[in-house]
A and B are shown apart, each in its own frame.
Chain A
């Protein structure tokens, strides 16, 4: 019979190996994606891939510029819409709201965060796209199909709100109550306290949360694909259709085998997304951990 301490040692080794194996997958992902995209990088330089908008897969010309710009527009728009709403809501929940209000709001946020992205897509097609085509669009431009940067931005911003609110509420509630009390005793109103104490104290945390939201918006695929319009052209305004990187990858995987180099080019797109998300995530997570430590008095 195996001795008890020996079993214990084996268990330790197994769990350790498992942990390290999972960490290695991150590395393997980079290696595989790079290895797969190498042929494209060799024939077109990285500079050309990122900053040329010449997209002719049959001729082997892969310029991702218009896709990258689409992604950037969509991401920025969604963050611009969702950040003010989330900030105000998080302040409301931590400073003003009564207990019974919180009892209602948090489950609603839960629901929002659990809805699958394809359902957001359906909602986008049924509600947001007609709204833009018939109501919002005509105020600004002559004609728009509704499948636009704007639609992507709105749908994405709804998806970001639960993430942002939960992060911000966590940060705001780590700020010591003493600061708030001290400010109130000096005669500041609640909003003055929020603006001058809470927002200022939490500003690094807010930036880190926004970065996390950016990286989530960056990688969101199906909902965006359903409302983006998928035209290979650099969007000129918010009411033009667009074609973000993630949508490009999903939409074309069926043709991967029929066009040479296509797979490699799409893997390059995946690699770009992976690296950007990895950096944004790592930086903001590290920052958030430091901030939460420093905010506790």
Chain B
């Protein structure tokens, strides 16, 4: 057999093997989390606040972390959307698409996207000290907002770029101002907004390093956003996993399972929305 055919076979094999390795890793991660989590999770865990002695193996649940994560995700998504939709609109409607400035803005958001969340956390922490703000729900929400704005802008911008220029020209020719065109544009990119939201929620709920500095941790559900600290699911996993008590570690596994299930569902939704709606945009 010629060498080149041997080589072909070898590398085809290697390619399949590398793909199988990745499958194996995904399987291993999901399997580990599910097996460990299912043994630990219970109805009480999901519906009760931690009671006294919780971190020594006492009774109670992780409702504080579940509610906290939802509050942070909800708040930051609302803030993120209100800031990033105008930015995307400016980039795609007001600015000419080939200008130097729009290139620069897109590049900056790409760079923004790559900044590690720990740096956001450290930065937000300094700002908080500077403003006299304590670690609180509000601070956590604001930090996570900055973390997810680049995701919003980048993914909505991808969709908005594909809106046909003719469509905009038609609205102008009917006498609409660029602001009034918003009705058309927003409707056109609406599936893109949903996909972007799903992506950002996934990132916001899983982020740990930024909230560890800014949101703190507590056993209670926060009441006043700028005063009360808030617990989050990833932090609850992180803190409880380092405990020497087996019951507490079990709760970490359960929290990790919950987190994984949420993220998997989000990823499924994202795929569904993309396949269902996005192909209709270009035409």
The residues of A with any CB-CB pair to B shorter than 8 Å are: 4-5, 7-8, 11-12, 14-16, 18-19, 22-23, 25-26, 29, 32-33, 36, 84-85, 88-89, 91-92, 96, 105, 107-112, 114-123, 125-127, 158, 161, 189-192, 194, 212, 215-216, 218-222, 226, 246, 249-250, 253, 266-267, 270, 273-274, 277-278, 280-282, 285-286, 289
For B119, B207, B234, the residue with the greatest tally of chain A CB atoms inside 10 Å of its CB is: B119
Question: Which B residues lie within 8 Å of A267 (CB)?
Answer: 122, 126
Question: Which of B19, B126, B180, B206 gathers most chain A CB within 10 Å?
Answer: B19
CB–CB B83/A122 < 8 A: no
Residue A112 contacts which of B22, B87, B115 (CB distance < 8 angstroms)?
A: B22
Q: Which residues of B contact A111 (CB under 8 A)?
A: 26, 30, 264, 267
Report the minimal beta-carbon distance from B203 to chain A, rounded to whole angstroms. 8
Interchain CA distance A176-B5 in the complex, whole Å: 25
- Contact pattern, B 246-277, Cβ under 8 Å of A = 1, otherwise 0: 00000011001001100110110011000000
A197 vs B39: C-alpha distance in the bound complex, in angstroms? 52
B270: A residues at CB distance < 8 A:
110
Known: A88-B17, A119-B259. 6 other contacts (CB 8 A): A12-B94, A19-B87, A88-B18, A116-B259, A221-B116, A253-B213
Quick one: which of B15, B90, B177, B179 contacts A19, CB cutoff 8 A? B90
List of A residues within 8 angstroms of B117 by Cβ: 219, 221
Bound Cα distance from A29 to B123, whole angstroms:
6
Residue count of chain B within 8 Å CB distance of chain A: 78
B162 within 8 A of A: no
A22 proximity list for chain B (CB < 8 A): 83, 87, 109, 112, 149
Report A107 CB to chain B, min CB distance, Å.
6
Interchain CB contact (< 8 A) of B15 among A89, A120, A216, A218: A89
Contact A117:B206 (CB < 8 A) given known A26-B112, A277-B114:
yes
CB distance from B29 to the nearest CB of A (A): 5
Our pick among A15, A126, A191 for the contact of B86 (Cβ within 8 Å) is: A15
Chain A positions within 8 Å of B18 at CB level: 84-85, 88-89, 92
Complexed CA–CA distance, A107 and B91 (Å): 30
B166 at interface, CB cutoff 8 A: no
Complex contact A108–B22 (CB within 8 A): yes
Partner of B8 from the list A5, A23, A191, A250 (CB cut-off 8 Å) is A191
Interface of A is mostly: helix
Offer 5 A-B interface pairs, CB within 8 angstroms, sorted by A: A111-B264, A116-B208, A122-B256, A123-B33, A281-B110
Query: Which residues of B are found within 8 Å of A25, using beta-carbon distances?
Result: 146
Check A4/B29 contact, CB under 8 A, given A92-B16, A116-B259, A270-B119: no
Check if B170 is an interface residue, CB within 8 A of chain A: no
Interface string of B223-259 (1 = CB under 8 A from A): 0000000000010011001000000000011001001
Sorted nearest first, the 4 A-B pairs with minimum C-beta distance are A219-B116, A116-B206, A15-B90, A92-B15
Contact, CB under 8 Å: A18 / B86: yes
Given contacts A192-B4, A246-B116, A285-B111, contact A115 B263 (CB under 8 A): yes
Q: Does B209 make an interface contact (CB < 8 A)?
A: yes
- Does any Cβ of A come within 8 Å of B192's Cβ? no
Bound-complex Cα distance A26 to B123 (A): 11
Assess A221 versus B209: contact at CB under 8 Å? Given A4-B177, A8-B179, A191-B11.
Answer: yes
A191 — which chain B residues lie within 8 A by C-beta? 4, 7-8, 11-12
